[in-house]
A and B are shown apart, each in its own frame.
Chain A
Amino acid sequence: MPSMYLEMIRIRFLMMLAYRVNYYSGIIIYSINIGAYYFLWDAIYSGQGSMGGLTPSQMTTYVAISWMARAFYFNNIDREMALEIKEGKVAIEMIRPYNYLAVKMMQALGEGIFRLLFFSVPGMLIVALFFPLTFPNSWETWGWYSLSLSLSFLINTEINLITGVLTFFLLNNEGLMRAKRVVVDLFSGLILPISFYPGWAQSILHFLPFQAISYLPGMIFTGAMGSEQIGGAIFIQLIWVVVLLLPLYLMWIKAKNALVVQGG
């Protein structure tokens, strides 16, 4: 059984590999974005020692690692699901001897591993040539970061699966998916670290799953988070990984009964 899912990962990885040229321009685009925020933050700090708990050099690193991590956790699984539901292919998927959601998760993972190896890692090295980044100097931090990044991948994919499953009920959720993408970018801390928001907004954002996608791993990587807080951050991520499974599971049960195949 597990070997079947492993095969899903492998196939998706190979599929991505076939179109790898698309990703070279992706690295340039992400570097352009990192550059935009680098100059902006540089101007915003201009002399101030620390803002939102980050020094200027930590901020540069934060921006770079957050974008390159996004390259890893980002996927279009929700769009793929929406398309399969619209085209009625999902009916075939459902009678196959596997769990549809698990398969989607595996495909996301295959894509994620590909993007990590061919996008995030080389991208980070290229960006390090142009901007003054500081990498963590202890293996411990690297270890914690890897764990945190894996959890952020799980959380983001779960959110994508939830948006995807919503297509069963909404039939057309193009708008929702687009809005979700922007909201995740803003509230995950990609565009703006959570610690910059005014107090009232922070207290809301701390109760949402989005900060676990980008902000927490980013703070671990930059070293802005003390080692005594890292355990807590990972714990929050773990909670969200588990908590998000619940609505996903319930919606999936309902969706299987509500399924209306429009074509196929």
Chain B
Amino acid sequence: MFYGELFLDYLKQYLKTKLAYRLDLLNELISDLISQIVNLVFILVVFQHTNFIKGWSQQEIIFIYGFFLIPFAVFSTFFNFWEFQEKYIIKGEMDRILTRPAHHLFQVVLETMDPESLAGVFTGLIIMGYAGYQLDLEIAWYDPFVFVFLVLSGVFIYGGVYIAIASLGFFTDAKTGISPMIYNIQSYGRYPVDIYNKVIRFVLTWILPFAFVGVYPSAYFLGREDLYVYVWITPVIGVIFFVVGVWLWNLGVKNYRGAGS
């Protein structure tokens, strides 16, 4: 398949450039790991002072954090749109993309790919596995499939949101600075939404649905039946946000007129 081959070629090329600077690669992996551990330390220390946060135990919160790391790692691998506007719109790289015979979004994804972020999947699995073991969670034969399905939904949600934000770049030449803001709101999704007020809970569920990447899918494995409704609509939200994101992107490309020169 054409796109599959393209993906492998890009990946090969990427690995070649990365392996030329192995120390940098190691640095990156270690500093990612440190920042993941910092968040864990926060949870561990806070629970020295309390047993429950709004009815959630330490292990449950750790489980949610571990789960969150997995879709986040996959998302970070494929949707590095942080410098999209700078690189592709302002510097005009988009023109080059548009002259090539593959879908433009796919090309941008491949060019900005960051496979070492996938290390977060392992960190997440270890953290989640540890918390799950402490909680004595039972695993049914279909649970791994549900897990993969929910993780992919989460990736679609993140992907959709950031594709939509990157698409704004097609309509304006000025830097918007929106994506760092959204990125920081993202960390709200790491904790149960019960701790927020109504407005923020609504935003995290329906507008920037980051709760569907942490708490809601985790609720399935933690057996929180009151949240099962949200578990089942997680894939729906994923599809909706991704489709809207791609639609906005295509609209943007149609509207794109080049940066000149």
Measuring CB to CB, which residues of chain A are less than 8 angstroms from any residue of chain B?
22, 25, 28-29, 32-33, 35-36, 39-40, 42-44, 46, 48, 51-52, 172, 174-176, 178-179, 182-183, 185-186, 191-192, 196-198
Contact of B28 among A22, A25, A43, A175 (CB under 8 A): A175
Pairwise interchain contact A25-B45, C-beta atoms closer than 8 A: no
Contact of A29 among B31, B181, B195 (CB under 8 A): B181
Pairwise interchain contact B24-A174, C-beta atoms closer than 8 A: yes
Pairwise interchain contact B35-A182, C-beta atoms closer than 8 A: yes
Q: Whose C-beta in chain B lies nearest to the C-beta of A22?
A: B177
Query: Within the assembled complex, what's the spacing in Å between the Cα atoms of A240 and B46?
Result: 28
How many Å from the CB of A167 to the closest CB on chain B?
A: 13
Query: Within the assembled complex, what's the spacing in Å between the Cα atoms of A97 and B196?
Result: 56
Which positions 115-172 of chain B face chain A at CB distance < 8 Å?
none
Which positions 13-33 of chain B face chain A at CB distance < 8 Å?
23-24, 26-28, 30-31
For residue B6, CB closer than 8 A to chain A, the reply is no
Number of A-B residue pairs with CB-CB distance less than 8 Å in the complex they form: 82
Contact of A198 among B48, B188, B194, B200 (CB under 8 A): B48
A-B residue pairs, 10 tightest by C-beta? A175-B27, A43-B195, A25-B177, A178-B31, A32-B184, A43-B53, A186-B38, A43-B54, A182-B35, A51-B49
Contact of A28 among B23, B27, B181, B187 (CB under 8 A): B181
How many Å from the CB of B33 to the closest CB on chain A?
A: 10
- Chain A residues near B191: list those with CB within 8 A: 40
How many Å from the CB of A47 to the closest CB on chain B?
A: 10
Pairwise interchain contact A172-B180, C-beta atoms closer than 8 A: no
- Chain B residues near A33: list those with CB within 8 A: 184, 187
Q: Mark B191-217, 1 if CB is under 8 A from A, else 0.
A: 100111100100000000000000000
- Chain A residues near B200: list those with CB within 8 A: 35, 39
Query: Within the assembled complex, what's the spacing in Å between the Cα atoms of A147 and B176?
Result: 37
Pairwise interchain contact B24-A36, C-beta atoms closer than 8 A: no
Query: Within the assembled complex, what's the spacing in Å between the Cα atoms of A185 and B37?
Result: 13
Query: Within the assembled complex, what's the spacing in Å between the Cα atoms of A184 and B26?
Result: 21
For residue B251, CB closer than 8 A to chain A, the reply is no
Pairwise interchain contact B195-A40, C-beta atoms closer than 8 A: yes
For residue B2, CB closer than 8 A to chain A, the reply is no
- Chain A residues near B38: list those with CB within 8 A: 182, 185-186, 191
How many Å from the CB of A252 to the closest CB on chain B?
A: 24
Interface residue total, chain B, C-beta cutoff 8 A: 32
Pairwise interchain contact B184-A175, C-beta atoms closer than 8 A: no
Query: Within the assembled complex, what's the spacing in Å between the Cα atoms of A29 and B184?
Result: 7
Q: Whose C-beta in chain B lies nearest to the C-beta of A178?
A: B31
- Chain A residues near B34: list those with CB within 8 A: 178-179, 182-183
For residue B227, CB closer than 8 A to chain A, the reply is no
Most buried by A among B26, B30, B50, B191: B50
Pairwise interchain contact A192-B50, C-beta atoms closer than 8 A: no
For residue B41, CB closer than 8 A to chain A, the reply is yes
- Chain A residues near B185: list those with CB within 8 A: 32
- Chain B residues near A35: list those with CB within 8 A: 200
Query: Within the assembled complex, what's the spacing in Å between the Cα atoms of A198 and B28?
Result: 30
How many Å from the CB of B223 to the closest CB on chain A?
A: 21
- Chain B residues near A51: list those with CB within 8 A: 49-50
How many Å from the CB of A176 to the closest CB on chain B?
A: 8
- Chain A residues near B31: list those with CB within 8 A: 175, 178-179, 182
Contact of B195 among A32, A42, A182 (CB under 8 A): A42
- Chain B residues near A185: list those with CB within 8 A: 38
Pairwise interchain contact B30-A175, C-beta atoms closer than 8 A: yes
Q: Whose C-beta in chain A lies nearest to the C-beta of B188?
A: A36
Query: Within the assembled complex, what's the spacing in Å between the Cα atoms of A195 and B243?
Result: 48
Query: Within the assembled complex, what's the spacing in Å between the Cα atoms of A183 and B33?
Result: 12
Q: Whose C-beta in chain A lies nearest to the C-beta of B39?
A: A191
Pairwise interchain contact B45-A197, C-beta atoms closer than 8 A: yes
How many Å from the CB of B103 to the closest CB on chain A?
A: 31
Task: Provide 9 A-B residue pairs closer than 8 Å at the C-beta atoms, listed in order of the A residue.
Answer: A28-B181, A29-B181, A33-B184, A39-B188, A172-B27, A176-B27, A182-B31, A192-B42, A198-B45
